[in-house]
Amino acid sequence: MKLMFLSLLSAVAITAIGMVSTAHAQVYRAEIIGVEPIYQTEYINTPIEKCEIVQVPVYGRTGQGASGLDVIGGALLGGLFGKAITDKDEGAVAGGLIGGAIAAEAGKGQRVIVGYQNQRQCNIVDNWTTQRNITHYNITYKWESVRATSKVYEPYLVGDYIPISVNINLVGELYD
């Protein structure tokens, strides 16, 4: 187990030395010459209650209502017709009940709008707003005569200095 750990440690060390020797990285300080905040628009719904005063109809009847005499008269006429049609006392009773009910209903009149009253009615409605949030910054910086742009999340200012890494690598081979 100890031998395996030492072998693994040696492999990591050799790899790290090889990477450092080929990268030739140096750390320098570059001056920020431009900062551009990048925004994203969010749509936010905050429902609200909206109320208003509306006029609603008030209903009534056109008739004054049937008087007791009207109901009795309808019952008597209904009883006479019931007896005449069926020639039985039960027919007279049924006719009397039906005649009285018809007279009472006819005295009510029709249902009509007799006025209006104010009433408060409320509904929940959508209330959409927009909000702009900074998601990141595009900074432009200069080192020597080289300019570069990067995306960052820190709010840097123009004139600030930031650490940069400069790597020099061979791109191709030279021929004689």
In the chain, where the domains are located: 26-47+126-176, 64-108
Rounded Cα distance between 63 and 45, Å, is 53
- Residue 26 CB: number of other CB atoms within 10 A? 10
Instruction: Tell me whether residue 170 is exposed, middle or buried, using C-beta atoms within 10 angstroms of its C-beta: 0 to 12, 13 to 18, 19 or more.
Output: exposed
Q: What is the mean pLDDT of residues 100-114?
A: 70
pLDDT > 90 in the chain, percent:
44
- Specify the length of the chain in residues: 176
Model's pTM, two decimal places?
A: 0.43
pLDDT interval class at 134 (50, 70, 90): very high
Instruction: Tell me whether residue 160 is exposed, middle or buried, using C-beta atoms within 10 angstroms of its C-beta: 0 to 12, 13 to 18, 19 or more.
Output: middle
SS3 state of residue 9: helix
Q: Are 121 and 59 in contact (CB under 8 A)?
A: no
